[in-house]
Structure 1
Amino acid sequence: MTDTSHPQPSEMTGVLAWIERSGNRLPDPVFIFLYCIAGVVAISVIAALAGVSALHPTQVDAAGNALVVSAESLLSAANVQKLLVEMPATFAGFHPLGYVLVVMLGAGVAERSGLFASAMSSAVSRAPSLLLTPAVAFIGMVGNLAADAAYVVLIPLAGVIFAAAGRHPIAGIAAAFAGVSGGFSANILPGQLDALLFGITEAAAETILPTWDANIAGNAYFIIAMTFVFLPVIWYVTDKIIEPHLAPIIPGEAESSTAGIIKGPDTSLTQGEIQGLKRAGMACLGIVALWVFLCVGPGTPLINEDANPEARLNPLYQSLVAGFFILFLAAGWAYGSASGSINNHRDVVRMMSESMSDLSYYLVLAF
């Protein structure tokens, strides 16, 4: 009798095995933060007992000398009282929390209406076979605007698109995963991650310079440059290292466990979805035009004409969080109304509510 059982994969050895075992032993990130907090508390007690002090980098005392800051125990009576009394205010005042919640209200509608999925599907499926790898990697990096939707949608979709083009689906999955995960901070536009970092950076900087203001586009040059550094690296590794070691497949014979025989990429979107993408694009242009009008129109609400030249654009920068919320909300609603995923305003409210449920772990982590 022929043995039809599948061979068991061999155990990973060497450095990779050690990394895997070490990673599996790590506690939940929430408890990692708790352990770090306990360590900081212990260090503060030791530093206070040892009389450690330092000179403040910007503040001076009455004599004009640099202000001496002495280490203070976090377990002192005053600090324990402050912790317990101001705990709700401390949590509610966490800078990044409001930014992330606001952006995700709009992004949740765009994601759950199907806009992100259709946009990524359309972008990848239109790419020629030769340019599939850079297209998938680029869409993966830009897809971090959609948060976790890129993981759920683009990675399996890339495997299907590669197979339909006669290339190995594993190569597509690898390229997509590298773009989405490895290039998560790279993009051509600020996104939800920038909203999070914006709040953390501003809160940290204000401890030294209270008048300092950050803006959500502060990392723009860096993340744009990262995009075009990562892109050729992912392209080369996928096409020259990964794919040559994979067995070739025959176009049309690839099969999906959920969709059966893989269809060509030109049949992926329905007429309603195509119409939805057009409406979403028009909505995006409308929101961009509105923001331009608020900058150059009567009264210039987003430009502070009375401020110093370097501070005149601060209202514009600080409005970008609200701008992304409105942009995602308008585009998602426009797409959903055309594709049929949104029938009335109740669907929009439901999607916004569901997007907040996705942030439950983030709320625990932020606390």
Structure 2
Amino acid sequence: MIGIGIADASGLIGYAVQRVIKHAGTWQLTSTILLLGVLSNIVGSVGYIVLVPLACRAYLAAGRSPLAGLATAFAGVAGGTHATFFITTYDIVIAGISTSALNLIHPKLSVSPLANYYFLSASVLLLVAVGTLVSIKIVEPRLSLSEQVNADNIAVKPSKENDRALKAAASLFVASIGLILFATLSESGWFSPCRSSTISKKRSH
């Protein structure tokens, strides 16, 4: 949260969003916000904390009402609970509960965590499609003119200096991810299970 606050106060988030959505249309922005909201359930309730304000900023940069962005992101996060393209801990828990109930009748049978995969995956597409249609055709047209925002008042003027800073921040982010992956997946990495077992063996000797 501290990092997000610093990035927002420095203008990094606003400028990055502005550059990303520069060539994005109304439908693309809305559907992307909804998709991110639906998929955010894989990291718990972070979507409410991070995505909702970012959606407001994205809509501001696009010259659209931030209230529409707030409603769109909130609908995606709240309405898309457990709908995802990925297997989460929720699927494992539900599979365990279902298996316990099933074993009352058939002790040798079990329910796989993949049992609901196709339904949940299809739900993502349905929620994004319906949510995008409702947001653009019903929600946004009902906003009063006083709630509309002029993008020129909040947009940061593109410049080589800002673009260079954005590229530097993106490069550092990618490098950080690479460092974490190396530390986790490499046998000589700091967080590697192999390294931990080697240290334990040395201590035992």
Shorter-normalised TM range: 0.5 to 0.7
Aligned to 2:83: 186
Pairing 1:250–2:150 present: yes
CA contact (8 A) 1:276 1:336 kept: no
8 Å CA contact 1:171, 1:242 repeated in 2: yes
Equivalent in the alignment of 2:111: 214
Partner of 2:168: 271
Q: Is the alpha carbon distance of 1:124 and 1:249 closer, same or farther for their aligned partners in structure 2, counting shifts above 3 Å?
A: closer
Residue of structure 1 in register with 2:55 after alignment: 158
Greater share of strand: 1
* Matched position secondary structure for 1:126: helix
For residues 203 and 251 of structure 1, the distance between their equivalents in structure 2, rounded to whole angstroms, comes to 56
- Paired residue type of 2:20: R
Match for residue 333 of structure 1 among 170, 175, 180: 180
CA contact (8 A) 1:276 1:335 kept: no
Gaps of 5+ in 2: 5-13, 185-189, 192-205
Counterparts of 1:323-362 in structure 2 under 5 Å?
Answer: 333-334=180-181
Q: How many pairs are equivalent?
A: 167
Instruction: List alignment gaps of at least 5 residues for structure 1.
Output: 1-110, 115-120, 255-261, 284-331, 338-343, 346-367
CA distance in 1, matches of 2:53, 2:99: 37
Aligned to 2:36: 139
Deviation at 1:277, TM superposition (A): 4.0
Q: Distance in 2 between matches of 1:174 and 1:150?
A: 13
Preserved CA contact (<8 Å) 1:113 1:335:
no
Give the deviation of 1:141 after TM superposition.
0.9
Q: Cα distance 1:278–1:173, how it changes in 2: closer, same or farther (>3 A)?
A: farther
* CA pair 215-112 structure 1, distance change in 2 beyond 3 A: farther
User: TM-score under structure 2 normalisation?
Assistant: 0.66
Between the aligned partners of 1:220 and 1:125, the Cα distance in structure 2 is 35
Q: Deviations over 1:172-218 (max 9, x none)?
A: 11111111110112211122322332222222222222222222222
Q: Is the 8 A contact 2:17 2:58 kept in 1?
A: no
1:224 aligns with 2:121: yes
Question: Over aligned residues, Cα RMSD in angstroms?
Answer: 3.8
Which one has a larger percent helix, Structure 1 or Structure 2? 2
Counterpart secondary structure, 1:253: helix
1:77-156 equivalent positions in 2, closer than 5 A = 126-127=20-21, 128-130=24-26, 131-156=28-53
Residues 176, 230 of structure 1: alpha-carbon distance in 2 compared, 3 angstrom cutoff: same
Larger radius of gyration: 1
Q: TM-score, normalised by structure 1?
A: 0.39
